[in-house]
Amino acid sequence: MKKLLFVLPALLLIGNLTFAQALEDPKGEVRLNFLNTILIGSVELGYEHFLAPDQSIGLEFHINDRFNYRSAGAGRDFNASSFLLSYNFYFAGNESGKLHISPFFKYRFGEYRESLDGPVTVTNLNSGFIGLIGGYKWNYNNFAFGPFVAVSRGFSGEVADRFNAIELKAGLNVGYRF
């Protein structure tokens, strides 16, 4: 009985320390770009896998992706999605919040249709982008949130002729770390 009274608290202490370590060093994060979902109807879902406390690999899927913040409607229709792969570096902060910078590769696929006072023109949006994301992320009880800005360069002549070769985006990610 005395052994049980000693072993049970020891197991509880080890379990609490292990759980606390898991909260301090998350292995992953799922997130949603909340701002762009509200503003332009683009659903941007992401997953981040932590390699170290200050580095991670991110993968995002953007549904109803738009070029910059171009609006649709009134004869304009974006029908595009994209994948984004990033390597994230966290620095200049503490456990409750840090700056981050992330080089990324994005591939958008789909099309843009426009029919303003004439025939329908279709722009093929299939193209790759290389860019950089910068922002700040706060962490509170395994919830992570923060603003970011991204700038990228596209490699499609057709897209650059219709829109621009440089794309600028921003947002507010809200996520959960586990």
Query: For residue 13, is it within any domain?
Result: no
Which positions ≥6 away from 169 have C-beta within 8 Å? 36, 68, 69, 149, 150, 152
Q: What is the DSSP string of the chain?
A: -HHHHHHHHHHHHHHHHHHHHHHHS-SEEEEEEHHHHHHT--EEEEEEEEEETTEEEEEEEEES--STT---BTTEEEEEEEEEEEEEEEEEEETTEEEEEEEEEEEEEEEEEE-SSSS-EEEE--EEEEEEEEEEEEEETTEEEEEEEEEEEE--HHHHHHS-SEEEEEEEEEEEE-
Is 15 among the domain residues? no
Give the number of other CB atoms < 10 A from CB of residue 131. 20
Check residue 23 and give its pLDDT.
52
- Report the distance separating Cα 170 and Cα 132, nearest Å: 12
Cα of 115 vs its chain's centroid, Å:
32
Least confident of 61-70, 106-115, 168-177: 61-70
User: Is residue 102 included in any domain, yes or no?
Assistant: yes
Q: Is residue 152 part of a domain?
A: yes
Percent of the chain with pLDDT over 70: 85
Share of the chain above pLDDT 90, in %: 72
pLDDT over threshold 50, residue 56 = yes
The gap from C-alpha 158 to its chain's centroid, in whole angstroms, comes to 26
Q: Is the pLDDT of residue 61 over 70?
A: yes
Q: Encode pLDDT of 97-139 as tens digits.
A: 999 999 999 999 999 999 877 899 999 999 999 999 999 999 9
Cα 39 to Cα 169: distance, rounded to the nearest angstrom: 12
72: containing domain:
26-177
* pTM for the whole structure: 0.83
Q: How many domains are contained in the chain?
A: 1
For residues 92 and 100, give the distance between their C-alpha atoms in angstroms, rounded to a whole number: 8
pLDDT of residue 4: 38
CATH number, residue 134: 2.40.160.20
Which token pair is 135?
Answer: 């922002």
Question: Is the residue at 40 inside a domain?
Answer: yes
Please give the structure tokens belonging to residue 64.
């109803």
**Domain assignment of residue 1, yes or no:** no
Q: Is 128 among the domain residues? A: yes
